[in-house]
Amino acid sequence: MILSVICWFLVHCLFCPPSVQEIEYKKDSLFFFRYFAYWWSMRKKILKAIASWRRANYQKSSSRHFHIESHSLSIMFPRASALAKCMATVHRRGLLTSGAQSLVSKPVSEGDPEMFDILQQERHRQKHSITLIPSENFTSKAVMDLLGSELQNKYSEGYPGERYYGGNEIIDKSESLCQARALELYGLDPAKWGVNVQPLSGAPANLYVYSAIMNVGERLMGLDLPDGGHLSHGYQLKSGTPISFISKYFQSMPYHVDHTTGLIDYDNLQVLAKAFRPKVIVAGTSAYSRLIDYARFKEISQGCGAYLMSDMAHISGLVAANVVPSPFEHSDIVTTTTHKSLRGPRGAMIFFRKGIKSVTKKGKEIPYELEKKINFSVFPGHQGGPHNHTIGAMAVALKQAMSPEFKEYQQKIVDNSKWFAQELTKMGYKLVSGGTDNHLIVIDLSGTQVDGARVETILSALNIAANKNTIPGDKSALFPSGLRIGTPAMTTRGFGREEFSQVAKYIDSAVKLAENLKTLEPTTKLDARSRLNEFKKLCNESSEVAALSGEISKWVGQYPVPGDI
């Protein structure tokens, strides 16, 4: 080993050009002494490098840390020029210095075992759980590849061709491709529609739209949260207390569903809109299992001079596959997330009309003027640099959504949802609106002895992910009477009618177990949250719950998950 180091030192002295620092040393009369001392101090690092290479070679794998090709050191004394070139390159790149390179080159399993363990736990949970939350899905391996790609390294404030940082030529290609695919997927003419793909998520995207076309204090109408609406549509309590900050910035008034049918009450909406005169009406839902009449929404919006903004976050995949009606024909603006039925990354898009909005009686054309306002609202109004890795992943998901396989998948989502609803109805469960036309179902648990919060809790203990949800007439969002479930995620994993029939049986078993466990809750006076915590303890201690949980975990674990989880 010592002979190897001496040989290497002599070769380096003879064949490697001195660095700038070495030239400075030559000005000193003690240059040769300093030069020898410097390289003698490097011996430990050199020995460590050779030892590391030998260990790697013994394991028949390349050395990632040092980037030394095995053939370069396959013999102890290669040609002097080859050895000098190899070792000089390694030294010049700084790969023999310990900390810096290993910090950025180690996988998470080595660099942060604690976080890696959490990741492994979540991977196991996803594979061995039944995911029924309709806003969740399993994205593709290709999308995950982009999310963990070098695109995330680049900062790119601005828009394609108009950036505030250099080096964005390739990022521009990525974002432009994403925009083009978004318009193509929904059959939109680029002369009549534009799209912004930079919003970070759905709720922010809605805020960006409101801010672009409304001043603070102007009026907004959206479906009431207990009736199936979303927080970002301006939810506030009946007392007028703002829950969403949207209702702090703007005056909001909810419209409702008919509590008898569970369907949107368009007649009442029309009356309210004429009286309230909103600037924006939102046609969109978060827990509504029926189709939306966009033509009627447009008629109502035109009657009060409002913009019609359609939020298709839940159904954007279904719309892309023409499984449900499209909002684009009748809407001025369309927003959507990209991770639900569309099965992409966690991002959002804002589509907006371009061209002529209307013509006055005198023949004057009134343009939309939405593009500049919305783009400015996104950046610099609310965001800085976009998440380029997400935009790249979104482009991949949009391409996938154009395939025949994706259209088949979307049809299966709806078919499975309708079958699932029928199975639950046969078991005696009441469904809000009586059934479903899309990807989700809302179960009305008011006829049972348990609320949605307890059913969600016991389902979680059984490795089934669902979410409690308000139903028309509910007063509490924390302890509502509904349970919201959907089919997109498990359809991705290959579930069909047979599997969803089995899931319906598991839900029925869970409700019955919950009713029994509730009778064991302490009789002492406790607040609602404390009683729920006691119920959770009972679930964790129940042998019946443990046995059924193991059965479900084993059963669902047989079905594949994208990304080889």
CA distance 155 to 97: 29
List the structure tokens of 135. Answer: 């806003």
Helix count and strand count (H, E) for the chain: 23, 17
CA distance 310 to 212: 15
CB 458 within 8 A of CB 507: no
CB 327 within 8 A of CB 193: no
List the structure tokens of 72. Answer: 């370069």
CA distance 395 to 177: 7
**Which are the catalytic amino acids?**
155, 157, 311, 337, 340, 346
Which residues, listed in sequence order, are joined to residue 543 by a DSSP beta bridge? none
CB 250 within 8 A of CB 214: yes
Round the CA-based radius of gyration of the chain to a whole number and report it.
Answer: 31
Identity at 507, one-letter amino acid code = I
Query: DSSP secondary structure string, 245-307?
Result: THHHHSEEEEE-B-TTT-SB-HHHHHHHHHHH--SEEEEE-SS--S---HHHHHHHHHHHT-E
Neighbour count for residue 66 (Cβ, 10 Å): 19
SS3 559: coil
Pairing mode of beta strands 333-337, 348-353: antiparallel
Neighbour count for residue 293 (Cβ, 10 Å): 16
Pairing mode of beta strands 280-284, 251-255: unpaired
CB 504 within 8 A of CB 427: yes
Q: Which residues contact 62 (CB under 8 A, 6 or more apart)?
A: 56, 69, 70
CA distance 475 to 363: 51
Neighbour count for residue 20 (Cβ, 10 Å): 7
Cross-sheet strand order for the sheet of 219-223:
193-196, 348-353, 333-337, 307-311, 280-284, 219-223, 251-255
Q: Tokens 């300093």 map to which residue? A: 34
Alpha helices, H only, 27-140: 31-41, 43-58, 80-93, 99-105, 108-111, 113-127
Length of the chain in terms of residues written:
565
CB 223 within 8 A of CB 254: yes
Of 173, 139, 167, which Cα lies nearest the Cα of 153?
Answer: 167
